[in-house]
Amino acid sequence: MSRLGHIFQDRDLFKQALTHRSASGHNNERLEFLGDSVLNLIISQYLYERFPNRSEGDWTRLRASLVCESSLVGVAETFDLGHYLILGSGEQRSGGAYRASIMADALEALIGALYLELGFVGCKPVILPWFQKSLNDLDATGKSIKDAKTQLQEALQAEQLALPIYALVGTYGSAHDPQFRLSCELPDLGIKTVGQATTRKRAEQAAAEAALAALIALKQQLKTTKNDTDIAEE
């Protein structure tokens, strides 16, 4: 996989990064845990240096959008990573090679492996270009060029989840200064948010942004719970 930008010297480490737990006890879960931390640090440093005047909250929001599962899957797909994954027979039959969570975990495991082989200084220039397209989508203020509705739809599609449902909750204010309140529901996840603005379009965007934040927080919570469970089982 020369497209990664690095040829592993430690082939066993490379193989481990691509091995799902369904295939072997010597799998990529530990590397995934390490890679998640390494990637967060790489992206955090990038945002800190590129947007020095932004707040900690802005950096956190941007980092979450760049390292979320849908973003990782997008990178994995550019490498056709699913083709190289080592899976158990059950996962192979069920199409696990192209399941979003498995691809995202494998990409993080590769990052962990790169860190072990090259160190932080060495792995950073290999990994950062993988995310260059997403990084280029950030404008000078640190805001993604893609609107919240588009980001939300792409995130849900990556997980093969139902698309959001938008509905008008109510209209308030005078005819000269109306306020629209719209809801955004993610039916498969039980998430429902509300946005309010002077136009329906802006209210939808506000509701979508809140739903996207809730989705990212939910994924992070589930991932933390999974890591804690894996550690407890060991």
**17-45 as b/e: b if 16+ CB within 10 A:** bbbbbbbeeebbbebbbbbbebbeebbbe
Catalytic residue (one of 69, 108, 204, 209): 108
pLDDT of the residue at 195: 93
Alpha carbon distance 41, 50 (integer Å):
14
pTM summary value? 0.65
Architecture of domain 146-234: 2-Layer Sandwich (3.30)
pLDDT of the residue at 31: 97
Interacting residues of 224 by C-beta distance below 8 A, sequence separation 6+: none
Q: In which residue ranges of the chain is pLDDT below 70? A: 1, 139-146, 225-234
The per-residue pLDDT for range 6-22, each reduced to its tens digit, is 999 999 999 999 999 99
pLDDT of the residue at 138: 74
Task: Give the strands of the sheet with 191-197, arranged side by side.
Answer: 165-173, 178-186, 191-197
Amino acid 131 reads F
Catalytic residue (one of 36, 69, 91, 209): 36
Interacting residues of 135 by C-beta distance below 8 A, sequence separation 6+: 46, 66, 128
Known catalytic residue at 108? yes
| Domain map (residue ranges) of the chain | 1-142, 146-234
The per-residue pLDDT for range 76-126, each reduced to its tens digit, is 999 999 899 999 999 888 888 888 889 999 999 999 999 999 999 999 999
Domain 1-142 has CATH 1.10.1520.10: yes
Collapsing DSSP states into helix, strand and coil, what is residue 171? strand
Known catalytic residue at 105? no
